[in-house]
Amino acid sequence: MKKKLLISVIFTTLIFAQEGGIDDDKKIMKEGIKYIKIVGKALKGEVAKRLKKDPTGVEAAKFCSLKANEVAKKAMENFPKNIKVRRTAIKYRNPNNKPDDIDLKVMQEYQKSLNSNNVSLKPKVVKVDSNTTRVYKPLLVENACMKCHGDIKKTNQEVSKIIKEHYPNDKAFGFKLGDLRGVIVAEIKKEK
């Protein structure tokens, strides 16, 4: 019996050693969340500042369509070269944020959890290949999001105009509070 237990422990240890293991996943999760928070805070801060100045959402819509990518890039300037953070969604606005198959699968899992009333959505670590791991953090719709992502019939006309001008194939509307808006992803490549 002890021999079987010992073999089982050794086998499990080898599997975790090959796949990175639990400790590596925790380390990667912590690192990914750190960088996600930096980018998220930069973007959210800029949107909040504009919504405070202009509660109609017009200034926030202008910022998102013209400057959000710039602010995200600036927030990432001092990141290690092997780490990139991006945003994506099933219903995306910017075609540059279109999800890939892995993104879609993760968001569908989050959506399934939300639909089953499991609202404590936690970040996930996903191994893409032997050199790349992603950390996903779900983004849920908050009050501030509703100015540009809520019911299109209730959206300020000027906001709608800005969105249509910059994103003629926009899919990112019709959300309700608490819906899954998308994810923010930290992609971490092994350093060579």
pLDDT digits (tens, 9 = 90+) for 72-100: 999 999 999 999 999 999 999 999 999 99
CA atoms within 13 A on the CB side of 174: 7
- Domain definitions of the chain by residue range: 23-189
* Whether the Cβ atoms of residue 91 and residue 191 lie closer than 8 Å to each other: no
Lookup: tokens for 148: 């540009």
pTM of this prediction? 0.82
Torsion of CA 40, 46, 47, 49, to 10 degrees: 140
Instruction: Please state, in angstroms and rounded to a whole number, the distance separating the CA atoms of residues 145 and 169.
Output: 19
Tell me which residues of the chain have a pLDDT lower than 70: 1-23, 118-120, 192
